[in-house]
Structure 1
Amino acid sequence: MLVYPDVRAAVAFLEAAFGFSERVRIGDAHRSQMRVGADGAVVVADDGGDRRAPSPDGYSHEIKLRVDDVDVAFARALEAGAVVHQEPVTHPYGERACVVEDPGGHRWELTRTVRDVDPAEWGGTVVAPW
């Protein structure tokens, strides 16, 4: 569940920026269940009670969103009003990624695997195989 000060604005942004689709609306501005891709889901909720949206003095999480094309997804997010934290870049560990922030302060890493890389090549250690 992601908390926003304006649920309806969050839904509009997530649809425009990332292609999510609203499935269930609970109240006018209380909550929304959104579909992500073929089998994912995100719940968007208001900042009532003890729930709080992110604040400008830091962040506590970054949501990793797998996309087909990082550059296309990045452009779409910017067009919808996202703020750039990291331009698209291809990392030595085989991921092409960027980081954007939505109007509610949530950070999203848009990412795609461009090649499989042995973790030893970039300083990682395999602890257990997938």
Structure 2
Amino acid sequence: MRTNRSIPAATVIPVLTYPDVRAAVAWLEAAFGFAERVRIGEDHRAQMRVGDGALIVADTGGERGAPTGGPVTHAVMVRVDDARAHCEHARAHGARIVMEPADFEYGERQYQAEDLAGHRWTFSQTLADVAPEEWGGTTVG
């Protein structure tokens, strides 16, 4: 795949819509530890990075709108080194914790949070390398 400095290098790049792009960028940096990479216009879009992943923060308009508080239609998963510490940091910066850190049989400790616009996030810490067959999954391919 060719590289282009005008787009994040990640293979999958979620685009999430917020009513105020600049406020969202500041909040995502403070609460979740993301870093702004590219600013597009004053309040149009921003590219953010976290680890080797990426996210685009987009403004509302046209067909784009922020979550409205209805059913959860999406979640973005981000791997972290310490889910408990990350959770406490996010909580201290105003994240609404919807699931406290919990350990799962598939070798992950995870928690879930909602950001300032209602987007759902799952943060996951690897505790062990577990074969999917050990917890009821099936390895395919």
TM-score, structure 2 normalization: 0.85
Instruction: Structure 1 unaligned segments of length 5 or more: list them.
Output: none
Counterpart for residue 115 of structure 2? 102
Letter in 2 for 1:21: A
The C-alpha deviation readout for 1:80-127, integer Å capped at 9, x for no partner, is 111111100000111100000001111110101101122222111122
Displacement of 1:54 = 1.2
1:35 aligns with 49
TM-score (norm 1): 0.92
- For 1:85, the equivalent position in structure 2 comes to 98
- Tell me the matched-pair count: 127
Tell me the equivalent position of 1:12: 26
Matched, 1:48 2:61: yes
1:66 corresponds to which of 56, 63, 79:
79
Unaligned runs of 5+ in 2: 1-14
1:2 aligns with 2:7: no
1:118 aligns with 2:131: yes
Partner of 2:4: none
Percent of aligned pairs with the same residue? 56
Distance 2:18 2:74 in 1: 14
Deviates more, 1:11-20 or 1:112-121: 112-121
RMSD: 1.1
Q: Distance between the aligned counterparts of 1:109 and 1:56, measured in 2?
A: 17
Runs of 4+ with deviation above 4 angstroms: none
Match of 2:12 in 1: none
Distance 1:34 1:49 in 2: 22
- Give 1:61 deviation, angstroms: 0.8
